[in-house]
Amino acid sequence: MKYSRAYFLEFVGRLREIFHMEETCEFFLRLGLVFQDLFEQYRFLYGERVNWQEHLFRLCCLLGEAYQGRDEFLKGIDREREKNPLWFFDRNMVGYVIYVDRWAKDVKSILKHRDYLHEMGVTFLHLMPCFDVPEGENDGGYAVRDYYTLRDGLGTCDDLKEVAEILKKEGIFLMVDVVVNHTSSDHLWAKKAKEGESFYEDFYYFFPDRVVPDEFEKTMPEIFPETSPGNFTYVPEVKKWVMTVFHRYQWDLNYTNPYVLYEMVKIILHLANGGADILRLDAIPYLWKRLGTSCQNEPEVHRLIQIFKACVSVVAPGVLFVAEAIVQPKEILKYFGEGESVGKECDLTYNASGMVCLWEALATRQVRLLTRTTCSQPHLPSMVSWLNYLRCHDDIGLGFDDEDVMAVGYSPREHRRFLVDFYLGNFPGSWARGLPFMSNPKNGDVRISGTLASLAGLEKALESEKSEEVEMAVGRILLLFKVLFSFRGVPLVYYGDEIGNLNDYRFREREEEASDSRWVHRPWMDWEKAKKRKNKKTIEGRIFQDVVLLIHKRSELPVLWPVASQNILDSGNESVFAYLRSTETQALLVLANFSDKTQLVSERLLGRIGMEFPLRDVISGREVVVVDGYIVLVPYACLWLVEAC
Ligand code: OTU
């Protein structure tokens, strides 16, 4: 069966009978733009099923329903964004991540604290998953029981929609999670599967015995080896094994079944119609499993994302996708779409390699790996962008590219060992206070939990009561923020980091959290502490006010927005990370000293990039100090330099 225009027109005819829409309406125009792609993807993924075209038709019906159900306010926004597809990237966007309950109490109470968001200059808000989950362990919301209901105590989907509309009108967009890879073992589909309904058994990967699971285990890594070793869980109700890559209570969805895809598209469109501007596709690399592989980043995953994207572009073209793909640097890139598919997958992806290299540079006081890793990131087209971040709700996994690590002169194994020791505070001279996450004795892997401030040394410094150490810790925190807000991409701040929140060890006393050290950096927002942000003499005030200043400066300087280009430079000093941001009319040089010693950068660097003295640091407003032909950078200084005249 080959694709033809006549085939499309036949579909349009059938859909018109159901939805009574003109052939020339925007729905069909948009569908026409993506239909051939949808057709090809469906044929590729499901072509072996005799009725695959009926599945495709069902999908199109779903699009029709969702389009008709989308309200006029959101449709108006879609139309504006269609006219300006760069709406998100050609300006200053700053994200902020919260747990609704821990930050505000419930969805409606977000509004009570929105002045705080405006004060910071936040323009989009990531709500950690707020959908219905079972009591007790639920992986911080990532084991969803019902995607159409909010979690107990958070309010209703209508509340969420109302809040989204109010925030949007005030210039704050909403990002929500779509947990695409798995559901809770308490989800209705899982329950029906447990009751033996074969239709729902097909929603997951069930195996009658250990034969196939054992084959899979040979090549699949373990994500949560401490709490959920292996990738399969025995289900006594049906006496079978089900695939559970994450926790035993998170069942992996089976996308070889087109009914699963249909249901997930329905959920995605429901969230889009509920007012979300950005959808974060959780654990996206895991969507397709193949024997003999790690079951990550399989080519079919990209086809599935393209289907999701095509569907959204018909119903809600204003909605963006973020890939949560914390994988090897060269794999991460593919989530933007490759070659002809750029723009047909995710608009943003987490810059996990950039993030982990920043921490690596702080510990080693050297920028070799950071420079190499960020240099090898290609120049992205302007319609996609990195989502840059320092910390998030998850652990830090040392997912470097081994080749890069070796190229800069380290042994990957020993270097990881060093970094883990360093951030767990076990290395002599370490300032950090991290906790181990998911140590895996089989391969020596350990990941790291902890807040930005505790990992950067503030916790230890405050305990030592030595003011020089506190200064150094604050210096590190501000250095990281200065890089975050000047590096090409969209910056994302994790709640509490803006006021220097320390680790909160009380999770150890809560049964459902105790075995997961990530809870150490998922605080209950302390609004009394947050009040100290107004006082520049407090640490909260110093960090918060500088963050605000940086966001403010960034918004005044289009050269720092995502569309402006970036070149990573060799500063000639192994502790100084350097990059040039530029547009046709402006250039801004960033020099970041990752060491606790004063560092010098030769003025010859300026000649190479065509910049001239005098230079002014836009953060402090002061002219840069030059001594004997060298720019002077005090410990942890980060300068944003522009030509002064
Ligand atoms: C994501 O993280 C979420 O961010 C986590 O909070 C969830 O626990 C998890 O999914 C399951 O829903 O392995 O250690 O490549 O690295 O999806 C965190 C992506 C994780 C994975 C990522 C996952």
Question: Which residues are paired to 492 by β-bridges?
Answer: 95, 389
Above 90 in pLDDT, residue 381?
no
pLDDT at 98: 98
Residue whose CA lies nearest to ligand 1 atom number 12:
142
CATH homologous superfamily of domain 564-643? Golgi alpha-mannosidase II (2.60.40.1180)
Cβ-in-10-Å burial (0-12, 13-18, 19+) of 70 comes to middle
pLDDT of 143-160, one tens digit each? 999 999 999 999 999 999
Give the active site residue among 139, 186, 324, 345. 324
Q: Examine the residue annotation and report whether 324 is marked as an active-site residue of this protein.
A: yes
Tell me the average pLDDT of the chain: 97
3-state SS assignment for residue 300? helix
pLDDT at 290: 98
DSSP string covering 487-529, please?
SSSEEEEETTGGGTPPP-GGGGGSTTTTT-GGGGG-PPP-HHH
**Neighbouring C-beta atoms of residue 169, cutoff 10 Å:** 9
Residue whose CA lies nearest to ligand 1 atom number 16:
326
% of the chain beyond a pLDDT of 90 = 95
DSSP 8-class letter at 273? H
- The pick from 187, 252, 282, 301 for probing ligand 1's pocket by mutation, whose C-beta has the most ligand atoms within 8 angstroms, reads 282
pLDDT of 58-98, one tens digit each? 999 999 999 999 999 999 999 999 999 999 998 899 999 99
Mean pLDDT along residues 345-373: 97
CA of 395 from ligand 1 middle (Å) equals 9
pLDDT at 51: 96
Mean pLDDT along residues 354-377: 96
CA atoms of 281 and 278, how far apart (whole Å): 10
The 3-class secondary structure across 525-546, one letter per residue, is: CCHHHHHHHHCCCCHHHHHHHH
Residue type, 161: K
Convert 607-643 to b/e letters by CB count within 10 Å (16 or more is b). eeeebeeebbbbbeeeebebeeebbbbebbbbbbbbb
pLDDT at 276: 98
Atom of ligand 1 nearest to the CA of 438: 14
CA atoms of 536 and 487, how far apart (whole Å): 26
Above 80 in pLDDT, residue 242?
yes
> What pTM was estimated for this model as a whole?
0.97
Query: Which of 9-18, 112-121, 436-445 bottoms out in mean pLDDT, i.e. has the lowest?
Result: 436-445
Above 90 in pLDDT, residue 1?
no
pLDDT of 604-640, one tens digit each? 999 999 999 999 999 999 999 899 999 999 999 999 9
Mean pLDDT along residues 43-58: 97
Q: Which helix (H) or strand (E) covers residue 588, if one does? A: strand 587-593
pLDDT at 379: 80
Give the active site residue among 282, 345, 347, 516. 282
pLDDT at 90: 86
Backbone φ and ψ for 271, nearest 5 degrees, come out as: -70, -40
Name the pLDDT band for 248 (thresholds 50, 70, 90). very high
Name the pLDDT band for 129 (thresholds 50, 70, 90). very high
Q: Which helix (H) or strand (E) covers residue 217, if one does? A: helix 211-217
Sign of CA dihedral 483, 485, 491, 496: positive
- The pick from 142, 226, 449, 519 for probing ligand 1's pocket by mutation, whose C-beta has the most ligand atoms within 8 angstroms, reads 142
Residues with CB under 6 A from ligand 1: 139-140, 142, 179, 223, 246, 282-283, 285, 324-327, 393-395
- The pick from 284, 387, 394, 396 for probing ligand 1's pocket by mutation, whose C-beta has the most ligand atoms within 8 angstroms, reads 394
CA of 324 from ligand 1 middle (Å) equals 8
Q: Examine the residue annotation and report whether 22 is marked as an active-site residue of this protein.
A: no
CA of 325 from ligand 1 middle (Å) equals 8
Atom of ligand 1 nearest to the CA of 518: 6
Nearest alpha-carbon partner for 290 in 281, 301, 278, 298: 298
pLDDT of 482-506, one tens digit each? 999 999 999 999 999 999 999 999 9
Name the pLDDT band for 376 (thresholds 50, 70, 90). confident
Residue whose CA lies nearest to ligand 1 atom number 15:
326
Above 90 in pLDDT, residue 378?
no
Both structure tokens of 592: 């970041």
CA of 252 from ligand 1 middle (Å) equals 13
Name the pLDDT band for 328 (thresholds 50, 70, 90). confident
Tell me how many degrees the CA angle 491-497-501 measures, rounded to the nearest 5: 175
Q: Are 248 and 241 in contact (CB under 8 A)?
A: no
CA of 427 from ligand 1 middle (Å) equals 28
Residue with tokens 């895809």: 261
Residue whose CA lies nearest to ligand 1 atom number 10:
283
Name the pLDDT band for 645 (thresholds 50, 70, 90). confident
CA atoms of 301 and 9, how far apart (whole Å): 29
Q: Are 205 and 243 in contact (CB under 8 A)?
A: yes
Residue whose CA lies nearest to ligand 1 atom number 8:
139
SS3 content of the chain, % helix, strand, coil (to 5): 45, 15, 40
pLDDT at 330: 84
Above 80 in pLDDT, residue 207?
yes
Above 90 in pLDDT, residue 442?
no
Domain residue extents for the chain:
564-643
CA atoms of 298 and 287, how far apart (whole Å): 8
Convert 187-202 to b/e letters by CB count within 10 Å (16 or more is b). bebbeebbeeeeebbb
pLDDT of 536-545, one tens digit each? 999 999 999 9
Name the pLDDT band for 137 (thresholds 50, 70, 90). very high
Both structure tokens of 529: 């502490």
pLDDT of 269-300, one tens digit each? 999 999 999 999 999 999 999 999 999 999 99
Residue whose CA lies nearest to ligand 1 atom number 6:
394
Sign of CA dihedral 386, 389, 394, 397: positive
- The pick from 97, 127, 147, 223 for probing ligand 1's pocket by mutation, whose C-beta has the most ligand atoms within 8 angstroms, reads 223
